[in-house]
Amino acid sequence: MRTVTYHAEGLRELFRRERVLTMEAMKKVLGTNVKMTVFRKLRTLSYRTSYSHAGKYYTLDEIADYDQHGLWSFGSIRFSRYGSLLWTIEALVCASEAGCFASELQQILRVGVQEALLKLYSTDRLHRQQIDREYLYMSVENWRLQLENRKEALKASVTLAQGDGTDFDSPEIQKYLLRFLSTLNEKQRRLYVGFESMKLGWGGDTKMSRITGMNVKTIAQGRKELQSHAITCDRIRRVGGGRPSLEKKLKF
C-alpha cells in the first residue's frame, strides 16, 4: 500500500491568496484530518500562530509585514514575530528603554495583558515596581536602568508641561524631551511634537525636526491632525488604514 504524501506547496499558495488561515482550512487543502500532519508541513514554511483569538489563526513569516514592535495585524487578528503573547510581552518589556506599564502594552498589542503580565512576574521572567497606581514592568536583568530611565521620563513630562514651548534650545530640556518621546507610540509622538510645533509658530516643524530627529512631514501630519479635530484615541493610523477585515477576506 502506497504512503499518502501531503504537499506543502498547495498550503503555501493558499496562504498567499488568503494571508491568514484556520486549522480546518489547512486540513482541507492538504486533504487530511490529522493536525500533526498540518504542523509538519507548517514547520517547513516558517509559520506564526496568532497571539489573539486564542491562537486560532495562522500565517507565514513571508506574508506578515511586521512593524517596529515585531507585530502584524490582519483585521482584528494579531501576530508577533516573537510567537505567543507571553513571549511577545517579555520581548517588548526587555527591549524597552524605560520599562512598560500594562496600559502601554495593551495599547500596542490591542489585547488584554494583565493575566500574561501576572504570569510573567510570578515566574520571575519580569520584574515590576509600583509607580503611583500602576505597576511598571521591567527586565529582570536591567530593571534598575529601566526604572531610572522611567523616572527621568516622568520628570521630563512634568518639566515640559510646565514650560512655555520656547525653551527647546536648552540641552537639558532637549534631553528630557527625547527621553519623554521614547515612552510614546508613533501616533502620540507625532501629535505631541506637532503640538509643540504649533506653539513655536512659523518654522516650528523644521525646528522640532532638528531637535527630535523626526521627519518634517511626520510633524506636519501630527499638526494637521490636531487642527482637523478628527483624532481618535484608539488608533495609531487613520481610520480606514490597514488591511481589510477577516470577514471580508476569508471565504473557506
Q: pLDDT per position in the chain (252 positions), as tens?
A: 344 445 678 888 999 999 999 999 999 888 899 999 999 989 889 899 999 999 999 999 999 999 989 999 999 999 999 999 999 999 999 999 899 999 889 989 999 999 999 999 999 999 999 988 889 999 999 999 999 988 888 877 766 655 554 566 777 777 778 878 888 888 888 898 888 888 877 778 888 888 888 888 899 888 888 888 766 655 444 444 444 444 444 443
Contacts 24+ apart (CB under 8 A), 32-38: 32/4, 32/6, 37/6
- d(Cα 238, Cα 132) in Å, to the nearest integer? 32
Please tell me the predicted confidence (pLDDT) of residue 167.
61
Separation of CA 250 from chain center: 24
Per residue in 75-117, pLDDT tens? 999 999 999 999 999 999 999 989 999 988 998 999 999 999 9
Q: Are 109 and 85 in contact (CB under 8 A)?
A: yes
- Environment class of residue 168 by beta-carbon count within 10 Å: exposed (0-12), middle (13-18) or buried (19+)? buried
Instruction: Give dist(CA 49, CA 171) in Å, integer.
Output: 46
In terms of C-beta density within 10 A (0-12 exposed, 13-18 middle, 19 or more buried), how is residue 101 classed? buried
In CATH terms, is domain 83-143 a member of 1.10.10? yes
Going by C-alpha positions, the residue among 222, 165, 164 that lies closest to residue 193 is: 222
DSSP state of 47: E
Q: Which amino acid is at 119?
A: K
Question: In this predicted structure, what is the pLDDT of residue 19?
Answer: 96
Give residue 232's pLDDT: 62
Distance of CA 27 to the CA centre of its chain: 31
Sequence ranges of the domains in the chain: 1-82, 83-143, 144-228
For residue 11, give the 3-state DSSP assignment. helix
> How confident is the model at residue 49, as a pLDDT?
96
